[in-house]
Amino acid sequence: MDPFRNPFAPGAGTPPPELSGRAELLTRSENALGRVQNGKSEKGIILVGLRGVGKTVLLNEIRREAEGQNFRTCMVEAHEGKSLPALLIPQLRRILLELDRLESLSEQVKRALRVLKSFMNGVKTKIGEVEVSLDIDAELGAADSGDIEADLPELMGAIGRAAQARKVALALFIDEIQYFKPIELSALIMAMHRIAQDRLPVILFAAGLPQVVALFGNSKSYAERLFDFPEIGALNEFDAIDAIEKPASDEGVDFDSKAMARILVRSRGYPFFLQEWGYHTWNVAAASPITIDDVEKATEIAIKRLDEGFFRVRFDRLTPREKNYLRAMAELGAGPHRSGDVAKQLAKKSSDLGPLRDGLIGKGMIYAPAHGDIAFTVPLFDQFMRRIMPSQPDRIES
Ligand SMILES: Nc1ncnc2c1ncn2[C@@H]1O[C@H](COP(=O)(O)OP(=O)(O)O)[C@@H](O)[C@H]1O
Ligand SMILES: [Mg+2]
């Protein structure tokens, strides 16, 4: 089939040709935005799911909706190397400068800018990594203690009041939120708590790996009253078929039913894998309707591509010990597994491997679905581990 007309879009955050199976979540987000726009309080929404299920795509979609509803928005992506203030300050600065340019002078907006300036001073003395400048005098004594759990709520309160004075609402978007340090996450939750108490027109949308539910809960027990944690997962059969068939039929191409069934088996309904299989099957097929043989030919290519890309980039960030641990885990199958069973594979006590396990959770490779259990954050990673390390280590150095 003509590769130029291939509708499928495997990638990170790449908008799919058909955003399948997410209508309910989008409606829920639209309603939350509408309520905040009308001065009502509303819980933030934290999308929770494995890699490749479509969280980033959803955040982008909700952001588009927010902008359509006249929200001021900003989006940041957390990662291991950068602090929350360093990510957030340039964005908040941009929003405040925009608010400052709207018609008449607003004392609330000016004050928020001065508080932002003093927040930057507080952060600078502490971690010294803020690169933007702000040409205004700091509001001395406000949000500049250098203690982020005190300063961030104060800053967000000032920004919320500035927005309120301008009669606009703000929506903050944070992707990969599991990478924030515990103290930063705590400060963010406290900031949103302040926003809720003062009924300010600010809402948070975030996305992260399954461990975020525990990270939020452990950080502040009231987090569950401030946020909802909808689970984003693989698509059900009906939606998965839509994700493949609709874009293809828009191009006048059909999949026969056996081909479709095989794609469902191979992809397990995971959005990223659906795009990957759809994409390669399209390119391999000579004519419509696409057959099961086409899918099987494409499977070889799809797996090779995944092994060189999606899986490989994660594997390359692991130490040899971490690789051995994950290989032992993979030996047991897709999971979840008891961490004690993994330790047994390596002739170790579970407690001896605690730090190694925590490191892998920190890197976003595994998570604990229940106490004492662990599972991969990347779907089908067990199969990849068995391909890339054909034999399993029988021990691990301490
Ligand atoms: N609802 C959906 N239906 C079909 N494909 C989707 C859907 N959501 C996401 N995708 C595709 O899945 C891939 C991964 O999406 P992404 O948002 O990066 O996932 P995550 O952020 O959860 O890792 C992209 O190629 C995207 O086009
Ligand atoms: Mg993502």
Tens of pLDDT along the chain (398 residues) come to: 999 999 999 999 999 999 999 999 999 999 999 999 999 989 999 999 999 999 999 999 999 999 999 999 999 999 988 899 999 999 999 999 999 988 788 899 999 999 999 999 888 755 556 667 888 888 888 888 889 999 999 999 999 999 999 999 999 999 999 999 999 999 999 999 999 999 999 999 999 999 999 999 999 999 999 999 999 999 999 999 999 999 999 999 999 999 999 999 999 999 999 999 999 999 999 999 999 999 999 999 999 999 999 999 999 999 999 999 999 999 999 989 999 999 999 999 999 999 999 999 989 999 999 889 999 999 999 999 999 999 887 777 66
Q: CA 387 to CA 261: how far, in whole Å?
A: 24
pLDDT reported for residue 239: 98
**Strands 227-228, 202-208: parallel, antiparallel or unpaired by DSSP?**
unpaired
Other beta carbons within 10 angstroms of residue 70's beta carbon come to 11
21 lines ligand 1 (CB under 6 A): yes
Q: CA 277 to CA 237: how far, in whole Å?
A: 15
**Cβ distance 264 to 245 under 8 Å?**
no
pLDDT reported for residue 127: 57
Ligand nearest the Cα atom of residue 54: 1
Strand segments (E) across the chain: 44-48, 72-77, 170-175, 202-208, 227-228, 337-338, 366-367, 373-376
Q: What are phi and psi of 366, to 5 degrees?
A: -135, 165
Ligand nearest the Cα atom of residue 79: 2
243 lines ligand 1 (CB under 6 A): yes
Q: Atom 8, ligand 1: which residue's CA is nearest?
A: 54
Distance between Cα 58 and ligand 1 center (Å): 8
Q: Is 341 helix (H, G, I), strand (E, B) or coil?
A: helix
Amino acid letter, 196: A
pLDDT reported for residue 82: 87
Distance between Cα 16 and ligand 1 center (Å): 6
Distance between Cα 274 and ligand 1 center (Å): 9
22 lines ligand 1 (CB under 6 A): yes
Distance between Cα 55 and ligand 1 center (Å): 7
Distance between Cα 43 and ligand 1 center (Å): 24
Distance between Cα 54 and ligand 2 center (Å): 7
Ligand nearest the Cα atom of residue 14: 1
pLDDT reported for residue 24: 97
Ligand nearest the Cα atom of residue 24: 1
Q: Give start and end residues of each alpha helix (H) in 142-256.
A: 148-165, 182-197, 212-219, 223-226, 237-250
Q: What are phi and psi of 281, to 5 degrees?
A: -65, -40
Q: Which of 47, 50, 53, 57 to mutate to test the pocket of ligand 1 (most atoms within 8 A of CB)?
A: 57
Distance between Cα 336 and ligand 1 center (Å): 23
Q: Is 147 helix (H, G, I), strand (E, B) or coil?
A: coil
Question: 1 vs 127, 231, 274, CA distance in Å?
Answer: 54, 36, 18
Q: CA 82 to CA 79: how far, in whole Å?
A: 6
Strand segments (E) across 259-393: 337-338, 366-367, 373-376
**Cβ distance 271 to 243 under 8 Å?**
yes
pLDDT reported for residue 159: 97
62 lines ligand 1 (CB under 6 A): no
60 lines ligand 1 (CB under 6 A): no
178 lines ligand 1 (CB under 6 A): no
53 lines ligand 1 (CB under 6 A): yes
Distance between Cα 288 and ligand 1 center (Å): 25
The tokens for 164 are 């309120």
The tokens for 142 are 């406000």
Q: CA 306 to CA 47: how far, in whole Å?
A: 24
